[in-house]
Amino acid sequence: MPRRIAWLNEKGGSGKSTSALNLAANLASRFGKKILLVDADHQANTTIVLSRGRPLEVTLTHVMLGKAPIEQAIVPTRYHNLDLVPADASLSDVNVALADSGSPLGLGREWRLKRTLEKIDEAYDFVILDTGPQRTVLNLNVLNYAHEVFVPVDPGYWSILGVRHLEDLIAQVRQHMDHKALRIGGVLLTKMQYTNVADEVEKQLRHYLGNRVFHTTIPLNVKVEEAHSRGLAVLDYAPDSAGAKAYLAFTKEVLANGQA
Ligand SMILES: Nc1ncnc2c1ncn2[C@@H]1O[C@H](COP(=O)(O)OP(=O)(O)OP(=O)(O)O)[C@@H](O)[C@H]1O
Ligand SMILES: [Mg+2]
């Protein structure tokens, strides 16, 4: 079975898409792992970086609404071993379409993604899911499929509160959706700067969550952002940059923590 990793933080701009993309690309290009990256955010940031403007015929929207099988949505990327299930803006309609629990589409609405991905995920070592910052039926679908939740934290005064909210959400999914395999796999400090606030947040998080905070931290580094416009992970765009070294160290840490 692949490792099933969902990047989640309801705070926007915390580094979900950047971290999902860099982890996926590094695992594929440097460690030969077979990766499926699922873009479950209607902002489609991951899709835009990896598809580089190519038109998309079938997206996660079609799959979620039962209009296309998952096999038709999977596209190869410039990275050997890295496949993508793309998103576009229409994905926000999925939440509306699934909202009516009495309609045929609404039946089993929280399990649609899990049922679909489990048909094909044996072909992969990792399935990595990028999510949007809202609490939606789509994100519940992601949590029902995932086993590990990775939480990127951009340190600020409200970060710890955000992590506590996520812990509550995960506890509810474990209990009410009977999904006991779900857990916080780790918290990743991103966009780190040498400020007193960042230092304080890091200390508090490590005190509160112990070894559930990844040892590696990701610095704020302009090369990380520039790499997006080239359609690349930072390790391929600027291999000597601090951002590239950090995402490589993080990738090794993820591999060391699991069995895929
Ligand atoms: N380490 C970094 N150094 C510099 N810029 C970064 C870094 N990580 C992320 N960014 C930039 O910060 C912004 C937010 O990052 P990202 O899009 O990954 O967050 P997100 O959690 O996916 O946001 P959303 O909630 O909107 O989906 C982006 O412009 C990204 O390029
Ligand atoms: Mg994002």
Instruction: Give the Cα separation of 182 and 151 in Å (integer).
Output: 13
Question: How high is the pLDDT of residue 105?
Answer: 79
Report the alpha-carbon distance of residue 177 to residue 180 in Å, rounded.
9
Contact 132, 83 (CB under 8 A): no
- The C-alpha atoms of residue 92 and residue 153 are separated, in whole angstroms, by 24
Share above pLDDT 90 across residues of the chain, in percent, rounded to a whole number: 86
Give me the number of domains the chain comprises.
Answer: 1
**CA 196/CA 183 separation, integer angstroms:** 30
Rounded to an integer, the average pLDDT of 98-103 is 79
- Ligand 1 geometric centre to CA of 69 (Å): 31
Q: What is the mean pLDDT of residues 130-147?
A: 96
> How far is the C-alpha of 172 from the C-alpha of 184, rounded, in Å?
13
Å from CA of 13 to ligand 2 middle: 7
pLDDT digits (tens, 9 = 90+) for 178-226: 999 999 999 999 999 989 999 999 999 999 999 999 999 999 999 999 9
Confidence of residue 104 (pLDDT cuts 50, 70, 90): confident
Provide the 3-class DSSP secondary structure of residue 220.
coil
CATH number, domain containing residue 30? 3.40.50.300
Q: Is the pLDDT of residue 260 over 60?
A: no
Nearest to 60 by CA among 100, 16, 98, 107: 98
7, 129 Cβ separation under 8 angstroms: yes
Calculate how far, in angstroms, residue 135's C-alpha sits from the geometric centre of ligand 2: 14
pLDDT at 100: 78
Q: Which residue has its alpha carbon closest to ligand 1 atom 11?
A: 225
pLDDT at 107: 80
CB-count burial class (<10 Å; 0-12, 13-18, 19+) for 252: middle
- The answer on pLDDT for 152 being more than 50 is yes
| Burial state string for 105-144 with b = 16 or more CB within 10 A and e = fewer than 16 | beeebbbbbbebbeebbeebbbbbbbbbbeebbbbbbbbb
8 A C-beta contact, residue 188 and residue 153: yes
Using CA atoms, how far apart are residues 143 and 135, in angstroms rounded to an integer?
11
Which one-letter amino acid corresponds to residue 212?
A: R
Give 224 Cα–ligand 1 centroid separation in angstroms.
Answer: 9
Q: Which spans in 16-134 are helix H?
A: 16-31, 45-51, 60-64, 70-73, 91-97, 112-117
Q: Is the pLDDT of residue 154 over 90?
A: yes
- Provide the CA 260 distance to its chain's centre, in angstroms: 17
Domain that holds residue 225: 3-8+10-257
pLDDT at 91 over 70: yes
**Which pLDDT does position 258 carry in this prediction?**
76
| Residue ranges around ligand 1 (CB below 6 Å) | 12-18, 41, 43, 45, 132-133, 190-191, 218, 220-221, 224-225, 228, 243
Hey, how many other C-beta atoms are within 10 angstroms of the C-beta on 33? 20
Q: Which token pair is 177?
A: 């959706």
C-alpha–C-alpha distance, residues 150 and 6, integer Å: 6
pLDDT at 69 over 70: yes
